[in-house]
Each structure stands twice: as C-alpha cells, then as structure tokens.
Amino acid sequence: MATGIRHRPQMDSGDFEELASHAPENVNLEFVNGRIGVKAVPDGDHSEIIRWVMQRCMQHRPDLWLYVEQGLRVETYRKGHARPDGALAPVDTFAGQGEWADPSGVLMTVEITSYDEDTDRCDRVEKALAYAQAGIPVYLLIDRDSCEVTVFSEPEGGKYRAALTMAFGHTITVPGLGITLETEPLKNYVR
C-alpha cells in the first residue's frame, strides 16, 4: 500500500455487528482491518490443537480459562471484531458482555492457521496488529503451514515489539504467563 493512502473500511462496526448477528450458525464472521472475513470452520486437527493448548494452559495456570472463539473488540478504538481460536483470561472475564467483548482482561490470544489463501494476511499480519492495538499482552500463533509456533509479546504503539518463532518439536515459554509449551505433539496435527 502506498504511503499516504488510507484503507477505507467496507462498512462501520455497527453495520458489521448487525450482519454478523444474522449469519448462519456454521459461519463465523470477523471484521479486522476494515474488512469482513469468514473464519474457516475448524477441522479435526485444528480442534486437537485447541485441546492441546487448553490442557497446557490448565496445567500451568489453573486460575485461567482458554475461551474458544469468544468474539473480541480489537484494533484502535475497538472498531475491529475478531474471533480468536482461543482467548486466555481469568474465569468470568466475559460474563455479561455478549457476543463481542472488551479484550481488556485477555492475557493471550491463540490462532491456529487454516489451510486457506487468507491465512497469511489474516493470521500472520492483520490479527497480530489488531491484538497488539487492543493491548493483549501475548498472541500465540500456531502455524500449520510452516510447522512453527510464534509468540508475539510486548505490545506497544499498536505493534508487538517481540516475536519468538520456534519449529514444532522445540520448547517455547510464553512470557509473563508461566506457561511452557513442549511443541513436539503439534507434529501430529499437520498435513
């Protein structure tokens, strides 16, 4: 994108919320970086990775819960709407908030790449920016295409200042949360 050219959103966030409220149950819509996106329906391996992350989080931090596909208001001024694969937060963080919640209690978001053409733009770029803009301390990206785990941390100025990428099979520590992930089992859940 050329310098000085601003991306024009497809619609405002209120119109998106209205549209998303009428989407069929088997369709998950997101509104990140001013664009509507359809989130892929998880396959079995995707579900197993979420289970794996949830177990690790519970082992290390039983005081927290990994909420699956909780809608969050993200990006500057909360105009974006993302539905991360997982949002790690204290119990009751989302009580009474409805479909699109304030992300202020979220300690980590988790995304698992899908085998589709939007993965690079959405999971690797736009969501990293959106979660940083929302001030979420950690973004964990499990990339099934590259067989790597990336931990983004230290949000500042709308971006994560730190990113650590390790190939599946290595151990990675989630900063500030006391969670260690031995990623060898992830090799079982890729094509």
pLDDT tens-digit series, residues 42-67: 678 999 999 999 999 999 999 999 99
User: What confidence score (pLDDT) does residue 183 get?
Assistant: 98
Mean pLDDT of the chain, nearest integer? 84
Q: Measure CA of the first residue to CA of the last residue in the chain; give whole Å.
A: 33
Domain assignments of the chain as residue spans, ordered by start: 42-189
Residue 88 has pLDDT above 80, yes or no: yes
β partners of residue 142? 112, 149
| For the chain, percent of residues with pLDDT exceeding 90 | 62
Residue 40 and residue 37: Cα distance in Å, rounded? Answer: 9
pLDDT tens-digit series, residues 128-179: 999 999 999 999 999 999 999 999 999 999 999 999 999 999 999 999 999 9
Residue 120 has pLDDT above 60, yes or no: no
Place 33 in a pLDDT band, splitting at 50, 70 and 90. Answer: low
Residue 83 has what DSSP assignment? -
Nearest to 161 by CA among 129, 121, 118: 129
Report yes or no: 169 and 163 within 8 Å, Cβ to Cβ. no
Alpha helices in the chain (DSSP H): 13-21, 44-60, 119, 127-133
> Hey, what are 152's tokens?
């983004």
CATH for 42-189, options being 3.40.50.410, 3.40.50.12780, 3.90.1570.10, 3.30.1280.10: 3.90.1570.10
